[in-house]
Chains A and B, each alone.
Chain A
Amino acid sequence: MQGMMIARAKELLQNGTVNRVLGWQTGEFVYDITPAVFETAEELDEKFVYNAFCGNNLSKYLVKETKKDGKILVFLKPCDTYSFNQLLTEHRFDREKVYAIGIPCDGKTSGEMVKSKGLSGITGIDEDGDNITVHTIYEDKTFNRDEILEERCRTCKSKKHVAYDELIGEDGEVLDSHRFDMVAKLEAMTPDERFAFWRSQLSKCIRCNACRNVCPACTCEKCVFDNPASGIAQKAAADSFEENMFHIIRAFHVAGRCTDCGECSRVCPQNIPLHLLNRKFIKDIDELYGDYQAGAEVGSRAPLVNYTAEDVEPSIVYHREGK
């Protein structure tokens, strides 16, 4: 796959279709992959990589990249194409300046994920079909791919590309995922249990803003939490209230626009399951206002800037059992 991608990128650079290529580049270790812009065939040969650790969603970089001259080639995994569409819906970048190639994805893992299996001193990884062998200075261990996939990939919602100029490999289908299982489990808890769960999670927050800054739906020029005039730009959560507020408001602001790409949870240095907040909104929207997948098509009207005269009343919150 990586070879085909490099070959095609070189072709498109050479024939002048694009001036730059947005992809992933290798790092010091096997897993520390960085999004990068490549301008020459040599750079591509030297550093371009596509493997099980290329989790970064590249679509948000298009906001910045399309402000520059020329056309950029971007590689999009299926879930990234939803973000791509959502950004287009919100007029956040110039489609004319982008050449999008859809690429298949078997699910991604991460250095953190591998380490969470108790491994340390990672020196290399071999991918062999569904088996992934991790080499460390202490031991070698083989995993089934599913075992070390990130949560968002284990509950993948779609292998289908909803936007692209061309496709490398086969397109997949929208999947019947179990992504709301954990939300339902939380809903079934008592309020006290839910409160305890979220306090233990959100109290870990260090307000690094990684979730916000990586989020393809968070593209405000000036975030309310950075605006000194808002009265809430505190840079740090000085009270548990602020931990709650930051995450509620952030999730609310992307409600109906969040494609559930899962970047927020991936980047969280404290492994707070932030996707569970976004998925709660998605689940509620699906149940109360009809199924809606942000980014599935360009130009669709997000549920929170829409209404029907027959919408349920807010009092439904008191009556929904186990919600």
Chain B
Amino acid sequence: MPEVNAYKPKIVAFCCNWCSYAGADLAGTNRLNYPADVKIIRVPCSCRVNPMFILRAFQRGADGVILCGCHPGDCHYTTGNYYARRRMTLLFSMLDYLGIEKERTRVEWVSAAEGAKFAATMNDFVSTVAALGENKRLEDLRCKE
């Protein structure tokens, strides 16, 4: 029997308006399950997300942060996700360099047609972060209840 008060990680998912957010929608209309602990924040494009967004999500209590955007080459704005890709690669590498668990951050490309991928990605990410436990290394104690 599963524990009633089992630890549930808080996940923030930044989803681009044109692909991934629609992908999440599709997952919903298809009644695909993914944990309710994933809080989606819609952004116009994956490249709207600057490193501060990721850090601030952790500050406010996120245990994992995932960025979802259109597949490379499919960006609504042609090149936005290419920039996001470089930025996130370097940011994640830096977090790892500071000793912060790299598994807490992820980038996944999810198109509007990939409802199933969205649900599968979220399920996988949530279980990865759940295995790591609470975010202790990039937390802000003042924001804890």
Residues of A within 8 A of B (CB): 186-187, 191-199, 224, 231-232, 238-239, 241-242, 244-245, 248-249, 251-252, 255, 277, 280-281, 284-285, 288-289, 303-309, 311-318, 320, 323
Contacts and interface: CB of A to CB of B under 8 A. Distances in A.
Interface of B: 51-52, 55-56, 58-59, 72-73, 79, 82-83, 85-103, 106-107, 137-142
B57 to A, nearest CB: 12
B85 A307 contact: yes
Most chain B beta-carbon neighbours within 10 Å: one of A196, A198, A245: A245
A244 B138 CA distance: 8
B52 A196 contact: no
Q: Is the interface of A mostly helix, strand, loop or mixed?
A: helix
B51 A248 contact: yes
A280 B97 CA distance: 8
B107 A195 contact: no
Contacts of A224: 52
A314 B94 CA distance: 12
Nearest to B58: A241
B98 to A, nearest CB: 5
A198 B83 contact: no
A320 B142 CA distance: 34
A307 B86 contact: yes
Contacts of A306: 86
A89 B103 CA distance: 37
A283 to B, nearest CB: 9
B50 to A, nearest CB: 9
Contact of A252 (B73, B85, B90): B90
B99 A323 contact: no
A318 to B, nearest CB: 6
Contact of A307 (B58, B59, B79, B141): B79
Most chain B beta-carbon neighbours within 10 Å: one of A187, A242, A314: A314
A249 B90 contact: no
A198 B99 contact: yes
Most chain A beta-carbon neighbours within 10 Å: one of B51, B85, B98: B98
Contacts of A198: 98-99
A153 B91 CA distance: 28
28 contacts: A191-B102, A192-B99, A194-B98, A195-B98, A196-B99, A198-B98, A198-B99, A224-B52, A238-B142, A239-B140, A241-B141, A242-B140, A244-B55, A248-B94, A248-B95, A249-B51, A249-B52, A284-B89, A284-B90, A285-B90, A304-B90, A309-B72, A311-B85, A312-B89, A315-B107, A317-B89, A317-B92, A317-B93
